Structure 1
Amino acid sequence: MNSLYWLVTITDRRSTDAFLALYAEFGVTVSLRTVGSGTAVQETLSTLGLERTEKAVLFSMITADTWPKLQKELRHRLRIDVPGTGIAFIIPLSSIGGKRALQFLTEHQTFTLEEESTLKDTRYELLLVIANQGHTGSIMDAARAEGAGGGTVVHAKGTGMEGAAHFMGVELANEKELVFIVSRTAQKNQIMKAIMTGADPKAGAIVFSLPVTDTAGLRLIDED
């Protein structure tokens, strides 16, 4: 499916609501929100006339049809090209686990199911699992049963989850855990299926994959 992307937005926390409101206008309603902080040195901040700010990091699903229109409005209405306003970028997805999850994530956007990404020949995939908080154990147990190694967990808050029960048959809590798992491409489908079927149903897990084009530090996986 080469027309679906993971949209990452980093902005000042005070601007978060403006970004979320704009995204909602374009049907980009399924987002995760977490926090961060800028890393610019004080000398740079002083030169630019900026203060060190706390950042908001937004994760959303977006289609190839929606992105150009949203990109235009980010520039015109939110002035994202002005230094210090924020950045937004998209990463191609290679697959999503389950038709209902796909329908949920693209409910208000035009999307045509196509073949997997042209990056499907990569050796590794990054599996991203969005789940209700407190269910990482059952997710990792299911993933490890199919050969996955460890995972990394990031805490976040969900937004736009009101329609989840209609598509997923489960209520999604506001508090989220985002689980990152790197796997061999050959094992990707088995691991994704194991998570969808083996994790605690209360987790409300949504899983999708991103192509990893290059790596460092995965020697143990290579030698396994």
Structure 2
Amino acid sequence: MNHISCYKLLITVVRKGRAKTIVKASKEAGAEGGTTFIGKGIGIYEKKFWGIPVNQDKEIVFTLFPEKIIDPLFNAVTEAGRLEETGQGIALVIDVTNLAGIAHFCDLDAKKRHNMQQASGFELIVTVVNKGNSEAVVSASKRAGAEGGTILYGRGTGIHEKETLFSIPIEPEKEVVLTLIAADKTEAVLQAIRQDTGLDEPGRGIAFVLPVDKTTGIKRLEAEAKSGGAVFSS
């Protein structure tokens, strides 16, 4: 029996100005709050990205929450953000294997945990690169078949102050690209990112893959993934 975290991470991508609505709905559903990032979406089509105009900035909300409220929280955020409507945004849930500052853990055997992680059929590629290199990450992803990506910008108030993403220091000159992808296509997209951005060279950046438990706002792409034809991004 493995001791793992009782918490999960909800990532919600919405239009600029909508993050407060998501955070409010999350709190009402039992979460303690959320962290909001400013970013933008870049899609394979010039005018729209998942039905959302690309010339609009995005807000990305990270919400750490107890697993026991996953259904009411997911439903509350979906309703508050109108995420089932085309072009309103997306949300996905990621398993948290360990954490600090919250001393609550669950007993869950490895097989059950693996089944939970594979339930959605999607994975999230997180790429951290130097400022100005995020476009190369998105371009590589699209070359490998993804539809684009969501770019986050690290923000700090001083040269020695840092923010963190998944416990990784993010300085103001860093950019983070989130790419949601069908699990069977992850390797091809990851390799394209490595080749185009030189991630294997020291100081160029990092990329890692996380399993996704649940998604909303991507009905068409979920259907395509089930039929074996989709590779896409967040």
TM-score range, shorter chain: 0.3 to 0.5
The structure that is helix-richer by fraction is 1
Rg comparison, structure with higher value? 1
After TM superposition, the score normalised by the length of structure 1 is: 0.46
The structure that is strand-richer by fraction is 2
